[in-house]
Every structure is written in structure tokens, then in C-alpha cells.
Amino acid sequence: MKTVKTLLLMSLLSMNTLAHADVRITEWMYNTNSAASGEFFELTNFGNTAVDFTGWSYDDDSRVAGTVSLASFGIVAAGESVIVTELTATAFRNLWNLAADVKVLGNLTVNLGREDEINIFNGNVLIDRLSYDDRQGLGPRTTGNSAVPGSWSAVGANQASGWVFTQAGDEHGGFANKVGELGSPGSAAFIAAVPEPSSYALLMAGLILMGFIGYRRQDKFKL
């Protein structure tokens, strides 16, 4: 019985770790079509608990944790999408008609190139990475038209080939901004794709119980 309790505890602990790793890159536009616009990328919390961004950071292909702090996002709610951009936060919200409560971290100076990488860290732990280069078949060329994961399997997989151009009215909530660029900053698809940790817990508990009953039965036959 002690082993069962230990196993259950271990599975609960691993679920806790999973909840913190549920933030994923969900959109990027490395260049713009207009001087009034600004490049950006988006992160979405797919977990069902809020994530505290204290200690979180971003870097491009130099891959150094701590380069651009993301701490000012504070607490990011379950299902919430947040944006990092080279524009000021106010200019970006205005350009994309975003509500004041959409979290935007502005004034990014680590420029995203045509062949580059988005790295998200929590402390020194890499949370998600997206390496892209349209000339190598790794994703579309996102100038004035952002790219989004084409399916749930492309999320968190560092597989830019599975990403597609944003289209107006797509499942991510794509629309045109004031200068005609397409994106969906502030919203993402697949929010409901992740099973809730409580269903994991139920599943794990059930599997452990079944294993335990099986073990007890074997024991009985031995007697």
C-alpha cells in the first residue's frame, strides 16, 4: 500500500510540473509591411492553472536565458495569450484594436530575422523553442502576415514546417489590423485540446488502483 501511495504522490507531483510547462509559442511575425507596424510573437497558457512569469525570459537564436525578461507579464491566466513586440504596448494595441487588458510587452530590441529562433525560458529551463526559416521549408515567410500552428501537434514541437499563414476568420481568430496585416494577437486555437490535470489525476489513480488489485489477486492465487 505504501508503494501505491508513493506512486500516486509521484504522479501528482509530475502533474504539477506539467502545469508549469503548458505555456507555448502560438504566433510569430518577424517583419512588417508598414513602418506603423511592429514584429511580434505570442505565448499562450494552455494549462488550466495560472502561470507566474517571474523569472521567465526570451531570447532569439543566441539561446541565452535571461536576455529579455518576461516577468512584467506577471500572472498569466489559463487560456490567456500574451504578446511581445517591438512597438510600444499602446501602439500595438491601437494597431490591432486590442482591449486594454490584453497583456503586451513592448519595446523589444532583440530583432527576429528571416531565419531565427524564439526561445522561452523559465529560469534556465527551456520551456518552448521555435526555429524557423522559410528558405529551408521551416514555416511561412511571416512579413506582414503572421504564422500560427496548423494543428495541435505543431504546438510546442519546434516544428515550423507545421505552421501556416494566419487567415482572416481562421480558428485562431485571425483578422486584419489597421494597415492590412493579418494576425491573431491575443487569441489562440486549441485551448481546449489539453486534458485537465484533474482528468489526468483520475486516470492515473484508476490505473494505479487496477494495477494494485491485479497484484493482490496474483498474491491470493499464490496462497
180 binds Ca ion (CB under 5 A): no
Residue 208 to residue 212: CA distance in whole angstroms: 6
Contact mark string toward Ca ion, 32..71, x via CB under 5 A = -------x--x-----------------x-----------
Per-residue CA distances from 71 to 22, 125, 164 (Å): 17, 15, 29
Number of residues in contact with Ca ion under rule CB under 5 A = 13
CB closer to Ca ion out of 113 and 169: 113
Q: From 4-12, 91-99, 110-118, 212-220, give the range in contact with Ca ion by CB under 5 A.
A: 110-118
To the nearest 10 degrees (0 to 180), the angle between helices 197-222 and 2-20 is 160
- Residue 7, SS3 per DSSP: helix
113 binds Ca ion (CB under 5 A): yes
The number of angstroms, rounded, from the C-alpha of 139 to the middle of its chain's C-alpha atoms is 17
Mention every residue, 6+ apart, whose C-beta is less than 8 A from residue 10.
none
Give the one residue of 31, 54, 158, 167 binding Ca ion; rule: CB under 5 A: 31
Where on the chain is the footprint of Ca ion (CB under 5 A)? 27, 30-31, 39, 42, 60, 111-113, 116, 172, 184, 188
